[in-house]
């Protein structure tokens, strides 16, 4: 079968040939006496024109769907093939072979949305994932996959997922739902107290800009690190917003508490007001960006 990208030119060529033969057949039929080749040309022309038109229409649809999917994925790395055939393959679970032969890795859900499509009565979601593979830098990928009914509502932005990645194509992966947390293991709800370590372990990546600091009356942690009050501007998967919180500051990092400094952080997926500064990350992350 012709490759997807060649369907349209192939269809145009077939339709063109069919129309030429069809025109020749019609002209031959107007002659008297009618030559014997006229009927053959007319029949062959009709035979080529119909399937050629089908190839043209299918090629146009395929090209349009490929463009739409590329626009949806934006700057993210593509997951699986594009176009109509790629979409059908993804929705049908075409990456499930990776559960057997893919390389194990982990991923964090940065964002997700419902497509409104179901496959085998399972809702299909589009995920933006940050993939972590042993020995390589984290990268982002767009991925479509049905979610098991029992996990709907349990998988949220910030949720960790076990995945299997194609060794030859890092953008192609499958989620191992057998290792996903069930409803009983959902993250804490908004308003529930959580530790900074917990937020750093499962939170959504972000940056914070120090707007100012205030005293916590000499409060320290058990290991002697001071606790400082912060006014922060948070930039991440949401539009920038401000929070006011108290946070432990390791003594070697006290020199970084300068208004305007930008620090790496994580946001609790269940409550954007819960933010933890990642002191162990690189000291400079650049200027905050407005989303």
Say if residues 214 and 231 touch (Cβ distance below 8 Å).
yes
Q: Which of 156, 180, 204 is the last residue of a domain?
A: 180
Rounded to whole angstroms, the Cα distance separating 108 from 106 reads 7
Domain co-membership, 119 together with 164: yes
**Mean local confidence (pLDDT), 246-260:** 91
Q: Check which CATH number belongs to the domain holding 139 and give it.
A: 2.40.50
Both 98 and 159 in a single domain? yes
Residue 48's domain comprises: 9-62
* Average pLDDT score over the chain: 77
Residue 243 falls inside a structural domain: yes
User: Residue 63: which residues within 8 A CB-CB, separation 6 or more?
Assistant: 8, 83
Summarised one tens digit per residue, pLDDT across range 179-214 is: 765 443 444 444 456 788 888 888 888 999 999 999
Is the residue at 3 inside a domain? no
Establish if 148 belongs to a structural domain. Answer: yes
- Determine, yes or no, domain membership for 189: no
Residues 201 and 174 in one domain: no
Give domain status of residue 1, yes or no. Answer: no
Q: What is the pTM of this model?
A: 0.40
Number of compact structural domains in the chain: 3
> Same domain, yes or no, for 99 and 165?
yes
Q: In 3D, which of 77, 253, 273 has the Cα closest to residue 193?
A: 273
Domain assignment present for residue 261? The answer is: yes
The answer to whether residues 101 and 171 belong to one domain is: yes
């Amino acid at each position: 079968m012709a490759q997807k990208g060649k369907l349209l030119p192939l269809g145009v060529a077939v339709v063109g040939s069919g129309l030429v033969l069809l025109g020749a057949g019609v002209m031959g039929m107007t002659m008297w006496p009618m030559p014997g080749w006229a009927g053959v040309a007319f029949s062959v022309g009709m035979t080529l024109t119909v399937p050629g038109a089908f190839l043209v229409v299918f090629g146009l649809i395929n090209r349009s769907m490929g463009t739409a999917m590329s626009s949806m994925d934006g700057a993210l790395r593509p997951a699986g093939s594009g176009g109509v055939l790629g979409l059908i393959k993804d929705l049908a679970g075409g990456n499930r072979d990776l559960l057997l032969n893919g390389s194990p890795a982990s991923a964090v859900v940065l964002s997700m949305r419902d497509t409104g499509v179901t496959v085998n009565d399972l809702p299909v979601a589009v995920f933006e994932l940050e993939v972590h593979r042993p020995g390589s830098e984290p990268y982002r990928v767009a991925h479509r996959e049905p979610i098991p009914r029992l996990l709907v509502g349990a998988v949220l932005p910030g949720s960790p997922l076990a995945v299997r990645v194609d060794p030859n194509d890092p953008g192609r992966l499958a989620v191992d739902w057998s290792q996903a947390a069930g409803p009983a293991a959902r993250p804490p709800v908004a308003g529930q107290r959580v530790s900074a370590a917990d937020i750093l372990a499962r939170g959504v990546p972000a940056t914070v800009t120090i707007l100012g600091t205030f005293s916590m009356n000499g409060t320290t942690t058990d290991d002697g690190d001071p606790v400082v009050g912060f006014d922060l501007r948070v930039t991440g998967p949401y539009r920038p917003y401000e929070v006011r919180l108290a946070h432990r500051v390791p003594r070697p990092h006290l020199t970084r508490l300068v208004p305007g400094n930008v620090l790496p952080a994580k946001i609790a997926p269940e409550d954007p007001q819960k933010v933890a500064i990642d002191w162990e990350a690189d000291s400079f992350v650049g200027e905050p960006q407005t989303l």
